[in-house]
Structure 1
Amino acid sequence: YLSTATTIRASQWKDSLTLYTDLLDKTPDHYYGYQSVGLALYDLKRYEEAIEYFDESLEIMENFNSYHGRALCKRYLGDYQGALEDYNSTMRMYPNFSECLYNRANLKLLMEDTTGSINDLTLAIKFNDTYARLYNKRADVYYQSDQKDLACKDWQKTVDLGMLSAKEKLESYCK
């Protein structure tokens, strides 16, 4: 999406928002520019503005990254139902997107849907079974829902996958 000339001028940009705004100026009819500005605004915690750019991106072309980005913004703004709808749209378009499943699982915890959270984490692990963070999160949810044996099993897997910070939980809660 970036031309050679644009890439060469990259030293002129002080941040990703400036870069992607320039990209958007050059390609105003392409969803990617709006999506990229939305992501840059999200990184700056300017969630309301980011949502506007994700909306524009989705008007041009339905795409899972804009739904996912908009869901993240809505979650931080407290619009849990709107975020859930956007996560669901993301998953319809990209059913094995483990990062979205992880984020939706966290949202479901905020919505007090422990079973839904565990189900999303289990599905994410099915698609990405070497990602320690998924096991660690599911272990935490299991532990919070009084399923200690399952929590300990997942914390052990987390440690086995190299996430040594889970070792403290394993030693504290599983011995």
Structure 2
Amino acid sequence: MMQKLLFTICLSTAGFAAQAQVDTVRATTLPPAQVAEKYYNSGVAKFNQKSYQAALQDFDQAIKTKADFGKAYYNRAATRYELKQYGPAVQDYNQAIQLEPTSFTAWYGRAQAKQALGENDGAEQDYGKTAELKPDYAPAWYYRGDLRFEKGDYQAALADFTAAIKADPKYAYAYHDRGSAQRQLGNYAAAVQDYSEALRLQPELEVALLNRAAAKRRQNDAKGALADYNAYLGHHTDNPVAYLGRGQARFEAGDYKAAADDFSKALELKPGYALALNNRAAAKLKLEDFKGAEADATAAIQQNAQYAEAYLNRGHIREMLRNPAGACADWRKAADLGIEAGKSYAAASGCE
């Protein structure tokens, strides 16, 4: 009896000691679900601190402890994405989707990872599924529109950017890219409106100035285009494309000297820039600097042997230099490369 009593007391004492030290119990003594949750929460904290490698290790442990932990797969995928481990990220998103098929964030995350891998068709499908699960999630519409724009499906891209704007009326990038889709479809007035709205919402999105200028040029609004180019170049003097665009606007406004200066500036920033060489050739032709114009057109062709417009321009230049054989050869080459006007010029000049 005494032994039993002593044994009972010992048990009671041991139980009390365990309860008194509950804060120092090792994680391995907790139930598996709680162990997994502990590692998961630690991983989330480390992810938020951008300690991605440490977060990855915690999510590994969470999944090892609880194999059906959907959120852990999702967060490990997000961590792997940040580490540029896109293939493994897709595999983790696959598991997350299998465990929680209605999680729009997992579909969206997998779309991002597939896009990073260059698997654009799969990414487009996943963005579509994301939008289906959560129609008010603007980024899904926007990024699908971006992929459709890249492959030249501008009408579908336009619809997606419009859906993104409906979901988030303050989405400046969606307005900007819808403007670009409108421009590709020839809807220049609508493009100008969208670029303007993008700038109103996000004034620092100054690339919209360049694209709005291009749309205004298509509207024959050289003055408006010049204003946009000047505004952009007031802050960015290292962009050859901006100087090229302003040069084109100045050319269209009849200011050939200023146009030639802009094309020269573009060439300083980007030597061998075929577009700037060809355009400066056209400006020099207008300024009656025929030798300089021929040199520029020839240099453009050396940069791009398939540059049809450069052949056409050099044909005009050589005609002015009293080189009919050279002019005829250039016009024929322009025609061979797809510019029908080359045939007309050759025929009008009596080229055989």
1:174 equivalent in alignment to 2:351:
yes
Distance 1:150 1:56 in 2: 42
| 1:146 partner SS | coil
Residue 122 of structure 1 deviates from its aligned partner by: 0.4
* Alignment equivalent of 1:133, drawn from 291, 299, 309: 309
- For residues 1-175 of structure 1, the aligned pairs below 5 Å read 4=142, 7=161, 8=163, 9=165, 15-62=190-237, 63-170=239-346, 173-175=350-352
User: CA offsets, 1:33-62, max 9 Å, x none?
Assistant: 221222222222222222221112112222
Kept in 2: contact 1:31–1:60 (CA 8 A) = no
Shift of 1:90: 1.2
Any conservation in 2 of the 1:121–1:138 contact (CA below 8 Å)?
A: yes
Structure 1 runs (4+) deviating above 6 angstroms are 10-14
Cα 1:48–1:136 change in 2 (3 A) is closer
CA distance in 2, matches of 1:149, 1:67: 34
Contact 2:311 2:331 in 1 (8 A): yes
Q: Which runs of 5+ in 1 are unaligned?
A: none
Q: Supply the distance in 2 between the matched residues of 1:169 and 1:75 (Cα, whole angstroms).
A: 22
Counterparts in 2 of 1:52 and 1:94: CA distance versus 1, 3 Å: same
Within 2, Cα distance between the matches of 1:125 and 1:151? Answer: 14
C-alpha distance in 2 between matches for 1:69 and 1:163: 22
Matched to 2:351, the amino acid is C
What TM-score do you get using the length of structure 2 for normalisation?
Answer: 0.44
Q: Would the alpha carbon gap of residues 162 and 59 (structure 1) be closer, same or farther in structure 2, given more than 3 Å must change?
A: closer
Q: Deviation string for 1:99-141 (max 9, x for gaps)? A: 2222211111111111111111101101110122221221222
Q: CA separation in 1, counterparts of 2:228 and 2:346?
A: 43
Q: Which residue identity is paired with 1:174?
A: C
CA distance in 2, matches of 1:164, 1:39: 25
User: In structure 1, what is the Cα distance between the partners aligned to 2:260 and 2:249?
Assistant: 11
Question: In 2, Cα distance between the equivalents of 1:17 and 1:36?
Answer: 8
Give the secondary-structure state (helix, strand or coil) at the position aligned to 1:61.
coil
Give the deviation of 1:164 after TM superposition: 4.8
Rg bigger for which structure? 2
What is the one-letter code of the residue matched to 1:49? G
Q: Deviations over 1:60-85 (max 9, x none)?
A: 22212221221122223232222221
Q: Which has the higher contact order (CA 8 A, sep 6+)?
A: 1
**Residues 168 and 17 of structure 1, relative CA distance in 2, 3 Å threshold:** closer
Q: How many residues align?
A: 173
Identity, in percent, stands at: 26
Cα shift at 1:168 = 4.8
Alignment RMSD: 2.6
Give the partner amino acid of 1:91: L
Q: CA deviation at 1:149?
A: 2.3
